[in-house]
Structure 1
């Protein structure tokens, strides 16, 4: 499997530092906003707001995190990813300062919304940068780390916040976020380079001497491009040796520049280009899987403080935060199942398939969240409604949290494999739409629970997960290759 000719990025320590800074950015977005969950009961009492109104501190930023993907990604594709990340990381820090000094619920809510606006730049763009920085055989593991950074903010954040709120007050949760985001802003400013890279034009330029290259106009995977062009690649290398100098490596000062020029594509076209991709089955499947995984996990995150800090459990905030320990463990397990284990499984299948990589190989590993997460939903519903021992809530949250990293790690890597040349647009749809769908469900989760109870609510969510993740994977596993070859001929990408 020869894929390295399609990526010329230096896999140096700088690459991993840049990746770490991006992961920290997305972690701190969810840490500062979603991490406030253990303080919801306290905020509900301090600002005299209902349970539903208090949950808006998390719900509206979730919507913003999705919607403004449709703003940041086209801007980054046009102006470059580096200036977007530098500006957004600074804005995130400022929004947390605002939240720390907020004197009213409305002010706190708007600071979280602005934080969501800034942090939304990290969701689709961060996943796209994984594909910019790493090779195909590394993407599963790296995407797993990235998804752990996203979900870790929603698990480690509340865990830390519980102790901070109990000892110092909820404002100190924001001040701690300010300190870390300020440090990370400096890391982004000095160590995250511009990763925007025109693979197709570079490939064509390198092979122009042969005059016989076959370029697939809408190739459905990086491996297909390489396979189609492998014979002429060898010919072009022989004919062009010595006539094409490698791209010179930029100096550190050059890497610090915020301006790297604009894309040749019209900006309006950049904004419109992603939407037709909703017709691709891989994109639809990925965003639905991510949506249902996010809905279930955040529903528990919203509700657990109202459950555990009220009778019969009557926990204080710092003890309430401990429920995120199994959540974090579930995230780590899910990231491994959806990341490194998937890479190893794909390597094994590729060897058995005469060296031909098929993106659908990733989907087999969805069996793990398919079995674990619905069982966790049912256990959580029964645990709360029947006042079972708190250990049932711990185990159920851990089982539910497996899906938040495993499912999107697998499906987003699958989308990237199928649509690498336009992966940032595809991942924009996945990340943008899943937050919008999640907001719609989560906005009504408290009234839903109050009306039908926890067993019916979480039983329904378990059924949705089984239907979307399980039934959706079957046709893609068996007919995915045929579907990719058919959709590769579509002329819907602007």
Structure 2
């Protein structure tokens, strides 16, 4: 196991790991007699009865949980479920307010006189704000804990929504989007980190699938509700509704969402491999005196510790905190050149670009002849998007989980992170067909079913590409989840920003048909980058090993 879990082992490669115990790989009779007992945390289990290598249903638990009652990996199912629900709720909410700003354009234009060009440009400002905020939030997880980022994000959501409700001038639309961008940025990488803190590696596929589905629901339901609210009242109520929802979410985070930061630094050997640690202890080698019981005798955390906004601060001075914060901001750039990160950022960023294109097309082409759609009907076009997103999440999330486990059995229990990329090709083809159906359907005034099915296929691409991007990066750099996902989100939002500003001029110059043909070709190019990664990915991952280790070592310890 050491070469798959010990980052300092000469043969260790990020993204290559063993997931099955030996018993599960042999014939059924041996499996019946030799499968290790399923591990489940129980405070009353004697220390000597806790297995050296913890597994469940023959699957090795990665990361290996400690014996501490405070370890989030040991939390009871009800607590994990509550934590997960709140994280999904704030993910969907921030995605909703980030996508509903330009939905009630007619109402904003009528009441304030702000033209549609300025409203479209505000989406580009939003992308920049998200990219900057994701980067700025990054070091807080190591230095202060995770809850503070969610609280700050919801405060930005609250003030951004109030500012949106009080838009009077062009500067207001940009200012409100900057604040809302900082709200969205709080959930774009930190939530995945929290999820990886309470769920095991073999569960992350399903967990990230539901996360992407929550993001998609917020992305599509936000404009739907915004249009309905604006049609029945006016755009100001879109802002006030967001402010009310922000307050409710903020109260839930403050009083129900526990801190999932846990200090594993005192378990230096355990955190890498329990068998290696036991062997070292046999020879009298331990990282410190607290390692012997692996946290078994830890006292349950107090209410203050569970809900603190600065649980990871420890005894650092403000000056030291600022110094470490600045150091981590700069150091996090070192993972931007990792091939899986570049790939994830490109395919996820292109989906953000596609979102800008079809929303702009809806606003410019479907209100007039031959469609003459109302704002309500435009809003209802998000329904096929929700259906397509659901199918895409199941395909690229849950199905890839089963596929990875199946291939691992054929591969002596060894998983390569590129296994999931087999699913990128179908997503690329389906998404490109959807782009062509939507583009030609709008340009030629085809039956509404063509346009709606095209939208569903585009949304399928949006969700499946997001799943594959995140799961590939998380599966490769499991000890740098936050840092690598920050890089993915920065690349994603920069691409989204560039395409947002290029969107309207491109459509005007090339026309709807030619633009969507180009988008379909670009989509195939980005999704089919999976092929060189499947061929050379392991070699490239091995080349990033030294940088990966240095980044892990650079983070604050305890």
TM-score by length of 1: 0.89
| 1:446 pairs with 2:504 | yes
Q: Mean Cα displacement is larger for which, 230-239 or 37-46?
A: 230-239
Partner residue of 1:86?
151
Q: Distance in 1 between matches of 2:63 and 2:95?
A: 36
Q: Give the counterpart of 2:118 among 47, 53, 56.
A: 53
- Decide whether the 8 Å contact of 1:330 with 1:401 is kept in 2: yes
Q: Distance in 2 between matches of 1:242 and 1:67?
A: 43
Cα deviations across residues 461-491 of structure 1 (Å, max 9, x unaligned)?
1111111111x11122123223222321347
Cα deviations across residues 81-120 of structure 1 (Å, max 9, x unaligned)?
1112112212312221221233334323311221112321
Matches within 5 A, 1:262-341: 262=313, 266-341=324-399
| C-alpha deviation, 1:392, in angstroms | 2.0
Equivalent residue pairs, number: 472
Describe the SS at the equivalent of 2:546: coil
Cα deviations across residues 246-268 of structure 1 (Å, max 9, x unaligned)?
24332334312222143888222
- Decide whether the 8 Å contact of 2:356 with 2:499 is kept in 1: no
- Rg bigger for which structure? 2
Cα deviations across residues 177-229 of structure 1 (Å, max 9, x unaligned)?
22222111111112222223454x3442548xxxxxxxxxxxxxxxxx5xxx4
Partner residue of 1:256?
307
Matches within 5 A, 1:163-242: 163-199=228-264, 201-204=265-268, 206=270, 229=273, 231-235=275-279
Matches within 5 A, 1:67-146: 67-146=132-211
Between Structure 1 and Structure 2, which shows a larger proportion of helix residues?
Answer: 1
- Decide whether the 8 Å contact of 2:269 with 2:276 is kept in 1: no
Change (3 A) 1:449 1:46: farther
Q: Distance in 2 between matches of 1:41 and 1:244?
A: 61
Q: Give the counterpart of 2:534 among 464, 477, 494.
A: 477
| 1:409 pairs with 2:460 | no
Q: Give the counterpart of 2:487 among 429, 435, 439.
A: 429
Describe the SS at the equivalent of 1:444: helix
Q: Distance in 2 between matches of 1:492 and 1:236?
A: 24
- Decide whether the 8 Å contact of 1:416 with 1:423 is kept in 2: yes
| C-alpha deviation, 1:44, in angstroms | 3.7
Partner residue of 1:215?
none
- Decide whether the 8 Å contact of 2:112 with 2:168 is kept in 1: no
- Decide whether the 8 Å contact of 2:194 with 2:260 is kept in 1: yes
| C-alpha deviation, 1:243, in angstroms | 4.7
| 1:386 pairs with 2:444 | yes
Change (3 A) 1:32 1:231: closer
Q: Distance in 2 between matches of 1:198 and 1:50?
A: 52
Partner residue of 1:211?
none
Q: Distance in 2 between matches of 1:485 and 1:296?
A: 33
**What stretches of structure 1 of length at least 5 have no aligned partner?**
208-224
- Decide whether the 8 Å contact of 2:333 with 2:487 is kept in 1: yes
Q: Mean Cα displacement is larger for which, 413-422 or 171-180?
A: 171-180
Describe the SS at the equivalent of 1:421: coil
Q: Distance in 2 between matches of 1:195 and 1:236?
A: 29
TM-score by length of 2: 0.79
| C-alpha deviation, 1:231, in angstroms | 4.2
- Decide whether the 8 Å contact of 2:63 with 2:200 is kept in 1: no
Q: Give the counterpart of 1:6 among 59, 64, 87.
A: 64
| C-alpha deviation, 1:230, in angstroms | 6.0
**What stretches of structure 2 of length at least 5 have no aligned partner?**
1-18, 20-59, 66-70
Q: Distance in 2 between matches of 1:372 and 1:297?
A: 16
